[in-house]
Amino acid sequence: MTLAIGVDVGGTKVAAAVVDEGGRILAKLKRSTPAASPQRTEQAIADVVTELLAGHQVVAIGLGAAGFVDCDRATMLFAPNLAWRDEPLKQRVEERLGCEVVVENDANASAWAEARFGAARGYRDVMLVAVGTGIGAAIIIGGELYRGRWGIAGEPGHVRVVPDGRLCGCGNRGCWEQYCSGNALVAEAREFARRTPEGAMRLLQLGGGVAEGISGPVITQAAAEGDPAALRCFQTIGGWLGQGLADLAAILDPACFVIGGGVSEAGDLLIDPARAAFERALTGRGHRPFAEIKVAQLGEDAGIVGAADLARQTTAPSSPSSGPPGPGSFMRSTSMANPVTNAATAQNAAIPGTDQPAAVATTR
């Protein structure tokens, strides 16, 4: 049984766990993220890893971080909710720990976990769409993560779906995540309650009597009770989700979409209207199969589990899913002496259990 540590670094918390090769969590720790300081965030990561290392023998350490990770998976180019700007995260954390770490984008790590152990198990062509505050996403093609030339592939939240539409945090207008996200759901409900308070009585009651009190959990609760106004909000957001998935299917033709993020906890309230809109909007419908649309299964642990599994495969690529790693492969890491070789290996990690051919280092 080989163990690995996965760390999920978000804007508010650092969560880390020891994960076995079946994706099960054996021990877990959480700390709040000192998001304003890159150095203190890196120290918080090193601290949780050190604490877990004290009680477990592991073969690899993986970090899943919320932000743009460069194509060598070493530098955080940009993180919207952390102070990282062109930060050499891999090197900084390795210096603090004295051993190798593998860095990955958090949505990529989550998608990997869902494809290995969760909702998309057995599928080789998968797209994860995480509907949370905004939209996070990741692409798996032929059993491998697709990262793009510079590591930044899979940002469909900023595809513009409405010309001159709502202003987005990225500076553009009409981005998909302005219509299909937790923020959009709440904005929709509040706007409805202000415009038509007599139709939003249950939402207002649960929100403490004012439109500003209406939150995501309030809308989910009201919708679960069958409140028509809340259901209408989910239909609107789900409709935008399904249309966007149809557009993504026009480009990628995946077998399975996994819908994660906080809004996906509403389950069928979101997925049913999404599936209906997807089937209406899909080009060539009636003459092609519909992709599966599934709710993510691993919840908030997906990033941890995926980061650990990707690190295990990168560090011990000859034994991706079973058997002991090479003796001392972790402590004798060569990554710091030869990061290029390591990055090439990492980029070719393939999902075990599929008929993906063995990883072959690409020419760089």
Using the rule CB under 5 A, give the single segment among 100-108, 156-164, 209-217, 296-304 that binds Zn ion: 156-164
Contact of 140 with 153, CB cutoff 8 Å: no
The minimum distance between CB 172 and Zn ion, in angstroms, equals 5
Q: Compute the chain's Rg from CA coordinates.
A: 21
168 sits near Zn ion (criterion: CB under 5 A): yes
Nearer to Zn ion, 45 or 107 (CB): 107
For residues 29 and 239, what is the distance between their CA atoms, to the nearest angstrom? 37
The minimum distance between CB 176 and Zn ion, in angstroms, equals 8
The minimum distance between CB 247 and Zn ion, in angstroms, equals 15
For residues 144 and 124, what is the distance between their CA atoms, to the nearest angstrom? 8
Count the helix, strand and coil residues of the chain and give each as a percent rounded to the nearest 5: 40, 20, 40
Using the rule CB under 5 A, give the single segment among 22-30, 57-65, 138-146, 164-172 that binds Zn ion: 164-172
Nearer to Zn ion, 132 or 353 (CB): 132
Helix, strand, or coil here: 9? Answer: strand
Strands 4-9 vs 256-260: parallel, antiparallel or unpaired: unpaired
Strands 135-141 vs 144-146: parallel, antiparallel or unpaired: antiparallel
The minimum distance between CB 98 and Zn ion, in angstroms, equals 40
Nearer to Zn ion, 48 or 66 (CB): 66
For residues 159 and 223, what is the distance between their CA atoms, to the nearest angstrom? 28
- For residue 304, the number of C-alpha atoms closer than 13 Å in the C-beta half-sphere is 26
Nearer to Zn ion, 13 or 158 (CB): 158
Nearer to Zn ion, 175 or 203 (CB): 175
158 sits near Zn ion (criterion: CB under 5 A): yes
Using the rule CB under 5 A, give the single segment among 48-56, 63-71, 91-99, 171-179 that binds Zn ion: 171-179
Choose, by CB under 5 A, the member of 170, 281, 336, 344 that binds Zn ion. 170
The minimum distance between CB 177 and Zn ion, in angstroms, equals 6
- Per-residue contact string for residues 174-203; x = within reach of Zn ion by CB under 5 A: -x----------------------------
The minimum distance between CB 163 and Zn ion, in angstroms, equals 14
Q: Which amino acid is residue 325, in one-letter code?
A: P
For residues 359 and 348, what is the distance between their CA atoms, to the nearest angstrom? 5
Contact of 307 with 6, CB cutoff 8 Å: yes
152 sits near Zn ion (criterion: CB under 5 A): no
Nearer to Zn ion, 6 or 67 (CB): 67
Nearer to Zn ion, 14 or 79 (CB): 79
Nearest to 317 by CA among 337, 333, 303, 304: 333
Residue 223's contacts (CB-CB under 8 Å, 6 or more residues apart) are 230, 231, 233, 234, 266, 269
Residues that bind Zn ion (CB under 5 A): 158, 168, 170, 172, 175
